[in-house]
């Protein structure tokens, strides 16, 4: 077992444990903080895969923006953030069955991929993955169209938010 | 390779030989050395924090026309140790209504988010933790963890003042992150890389300050906001919300917040030096001449970097002890209506000019002049805006008096 594998197992355990805590925590704020732990674990997995850019973006976007917004929303929605009702509904056997089915399906799909179980080759020494990614995002024969579509989508969301904020004021 | 050219690697190689000579596996040795390196870096920055307590107290005394600590040791140098002893022997209080785990985790995370930054801060061309190719994003990510620590502490304290302070701090940090990221992009554009060593090497002949002084100013302002120091210290605001998010913390838990804040300020001084003032290098091309090759020695570079970082820290302190606190609506309006548009315009100009003037003799003067032009236009717009506001105010006051028909107003 290599060091990367040990690290991956530790991270996977952290992610899964935190994810379970997100749905079982009685206190909504605790659930939000467990979610942050799970997201951080995913960032570490990206780092193990040598995708430093993805790891940083994961932390900046998911922890720095989205999780903070969750926490704000939690604080604004209700006075008492504790949940007192039963946490398991009547349909739990169906949910468990569905979950297991999805797990089995995903596992089968992943195992059918070529190259499962092989060690990832090291990156070529002269390659700068961030520069390559940046070039791919703006080159016409790569991802420029999806990139621009996403930009326009975000811009329209921004304009819409500003418009809604002005509506309320009047 | 000798000790004088590369001290850290020399010591590491020596230790590696020693440990493998004792029969330790090569992999194990690597892990041990990496852990030792991290420990060394953290210890260095924490010891530095002790020194910074003294620097901060001496400098604030100077700005306020006092003497500062001067009883313990020469120039009061032993004072920080007395402070630490005081902090350690204080009672460690956890409020009854607090969320125990998160309450205790918050100060650790706050200090950790600062220590994380030291991993990418190169003290010299051969003394650095790690040379990431996404270093500038890493800087932003560590800032996000700092925000998280503050909201965690503010909420877990179960105190209204603490929560208000945390809200204000998060509002500041999330808003000022945008001009900060944009001003970080400008050195990245000029250097063509996000690696901090790459940015330093790119400033060998000309500091980026001379290519984009406005970006340096925007970075400084947003750094001060991110630090939560005056004039952006609404999160602490002693006169309104007592001490903000760390109101409930006592003893060494408060000490961690405090040390984190001082170290954070120094670290941002370091980043300002690194991004705009040449970092450990940048002697205007002198270092390339054979007669001045000694400038490339790490024993010269590291003190130069620390000196530049200290100057940056001094400027941050100078701002802190000179400016009054801003109101929260002014703070947000300043960011969204002024700093963010300015930073975006500057980014577009720099990106276009960097392409157009690439390789020409006009590269440096062109970029500098474009910055001056933008600054001049900004000042003119602000002046016109201020005049309009004053006129509107004068008109309002004037008509108000006329309507009231006060006899004194007609004299």
Select the residue of A33, A57, A131 nearest B102 (Cβ to Cβ).
A33
Q: B400: buried, middle or exposed (CB in 10 Å: 19+, 13-18, 0-12)?
A: exposed
Spell out which residues of chain B touch residue A53, defining contact as CB-CB under 8 Å: 133-134, 137
Cβ A57–B194 below 8 Å, yes or no? Answer: no
Residue B322 falls within a domain, yes or no? Answer: yes
Residue A121 falls within a domain, yes or no? Answer: no
B194 and B140 in contact (C-beta within 8 Å)? no
User: What domain range is A147 assigned to?
Assistant: 133-170
A71 and B151 in contact (C-beta within 8 Å)? yes
Residue A2 falls within a domain, yes or no? Answer: yes
Select the residue of A53, A64, A129 nearest B147 (Cβ to Cβ).
A64
Q: What are phi and psi of B127, to 5 degrees?
A: -115, 100
User: What domain range is B357 assigned to?
Assistant: 90-391
Read off the pLDDT of residues A109-158 as tens digits, 9 standing for 90 and up.
988 888 777 777 777 777 778 888 888 888 888 888 999 999 999 999 98
Using CA atoms, how far residue B360 sits from A54, B82, B205, B214, B351, in Å, is: 36, 58, 15, 22, 15
Residue A65 DSSP label: I
Read off the pLDDT of residues B314-370 as tens digits, 9 standing for 90 and up.
999 888 888 888 888 888 888 888 889 899 999 988 888 888 888 778 888 888 888
Residue A30 falls within a domain, yes or no? Answer: yes
Residue B11 falls within a domain, yes or no? Answer: no
Spell out which residues of chain B touch residue A67, defining contact as CB-CB under 8 Å: 148
Read off the pLDDT of residues B66-92 as tens digits, 9 standing for 90 and up.
887 888 778 878 888 888 888 888 888
Select the residue of B133, B141, B152 nearest A128 (Cβ to Cβ).
B133
B116 and B145 in contact (C-beta within 8 Å)? yes
Residue B38 falls within a domain, yes or no? Answer: no
Spell out which residues of chain A touch residue B98, defining contact as CB-CB under 8 Å: none
The SS3 call for residue A27 is: strand
Residue A107 falls within a domain, yes or no? Answer: no
Distance from CA of B144 to the nearest CA of A (A): 4
Distance from CA of A109 to the nearest CA of B (A): 33
End-of-domain residue from the set A83, A98, A118: A83
CATH code (residue A20): 1.20.120.1200
Distance between CA atoms of residues B55 and B401, nearest Å? 54
ipTM value > 0.85: no
Cβ B134–A63 below 8 Å, yes or no? Answer: no
Residue A57 falls within a domain, yes or no? Answer: yes
Distance between CA atoms of residues B79 and B50, nearest Å? 10
Residue A101 falls within a domain, yes or no? Answer: no
Taking the whole predicted model, whether its pTM rises above 0.95 is answered as no
CB of A128 within 8 Å of a chain B CB? The answer is yes
Cβ A59–B152 below 8 Å, yes or no? Answer: no
Section B211-232 average pLDDT: 88
Residue A109 falls within a domain, yes or no? Answer: no
- Indicate the pLDDT class of residue B154, thresholds 50, 70 and 90: confident
CB of A63 within 8 Å of a chain B CB? The answer is yes
Q: What are phi and psi of B124, to 5 degrees?
A: -155, 175
Cβ B155–A57 below 8 Å, yes or no? Answer: no
């Amino acid at each position: 077992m290599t060091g990367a594998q040990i690290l991956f197992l530790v991270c996977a355990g952290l992610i899964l444990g935190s994810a379970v805590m997100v749905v079982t925590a009685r206190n909504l704020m605790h659930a939000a903080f467990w979610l942050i732990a799970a997201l951080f674990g995913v960032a570490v997995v990206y780092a193990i895969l040598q995708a430093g850019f993805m790891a940083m973006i994961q932390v900046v976007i998911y922890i720095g923006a989205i999780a903070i917004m969750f926490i704000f929303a939690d604080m604004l929605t209700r006075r008492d953030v504790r949940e007192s009702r039963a946490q398991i509904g009547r349909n739990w056997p169906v949910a468990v069955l569905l979950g297991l089915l999805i797990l089995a399906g995903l596992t089968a799909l992943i195992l059918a991929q070529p190259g499962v179980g092989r060690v990832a080759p090291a990156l070529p020494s002269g390659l700068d993955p961030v520069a390559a990614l940046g070039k791919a995002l703006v080159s016409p024969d790569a991802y420029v169209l999806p990139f621009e579509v996403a930009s326009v989508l975000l811009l329209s969301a921004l304009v819409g938010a500003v418009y809604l904020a002005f509506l309320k004021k009047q | 390779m000798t000790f004088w050219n590369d001290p850290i690697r020399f010591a590491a190689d020596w230790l590696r030989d020693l440990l493998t000579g004792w029969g330790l596996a090569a992999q194990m040795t690597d892990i041990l050395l990496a852990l030792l390196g991290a420990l060394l870096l953290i210890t260095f920055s924490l010891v530095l924090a002790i020194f910074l307590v003294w620097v901060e107290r001496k400098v604030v005394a100077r700005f306020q026309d006092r003497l500062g600590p001067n009883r313990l040791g020469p120039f009061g140098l032993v004072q920080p140790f007395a402070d630490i002893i005081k902090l350690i022997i204080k009672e460690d209080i956890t409020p009854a209504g607090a969320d125990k785990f998160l309450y205790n985790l918050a100060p650790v995370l706050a200090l950790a988010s600062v220590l994380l930054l030291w991993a990418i801060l190169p003290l010299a061309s051969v003394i650095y933790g790690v040379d990431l190719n996404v270093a500038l994003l890493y800087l932003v990510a560590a800032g996000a963890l700092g925000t998280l620590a503050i909201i965690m502490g503010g909420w877990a304290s179960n105190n209204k003042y603490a929560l208000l302070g945390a809200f204000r701090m998060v509002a500041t940090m999330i808003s000022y992150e945008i001009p900060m990221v944009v001003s970080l992009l400008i050195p990245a554009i000029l250097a063509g890389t996000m690696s901090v060593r790459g940015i330093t090497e790119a400033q060998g002949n000309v500091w980026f300050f001379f290519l984009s002084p406005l970006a340096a100013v925007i970075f400084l302002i947003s750094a001060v906001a991110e630090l939560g120091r005056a004039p952006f210290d609404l999160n602490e605001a002693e006169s309104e919300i007592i001490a903000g998010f760390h109101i409930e913390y006592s003893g060494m838990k408060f000490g961690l917040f405090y040390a984190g804040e001082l170290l954070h300020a120094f670290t941002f001084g370091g980043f300002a030096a690194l991004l705009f003032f040449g970092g450990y290098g940048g002697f205007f091309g002198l270092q390339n001449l054979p007669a001045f090759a000694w400038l490339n020695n790490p024993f010269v570079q590291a003190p130069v970097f620390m000196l530049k970082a200290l100057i940056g820290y001094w400027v941050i302190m100078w701002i802190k002890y000179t400016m009054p606190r801003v109101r929260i609506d002014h703070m947000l309006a300043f960011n969204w209506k002024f700093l963010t548009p300015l930073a975006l315009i500057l980014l577009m100009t720099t990106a276009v000019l960097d392409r157009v003037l690439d390789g020409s003799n006009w590269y440096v003067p062109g970029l500098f002049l474009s910055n001056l032009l933008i600054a001049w236009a900004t000042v003119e717009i602000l002046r016109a805006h201020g005049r309009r506001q004053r006129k509107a105010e004068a008109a309002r006051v004037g008509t108000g008096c006329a309507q009231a028909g006060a006899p004194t107003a007609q004299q």
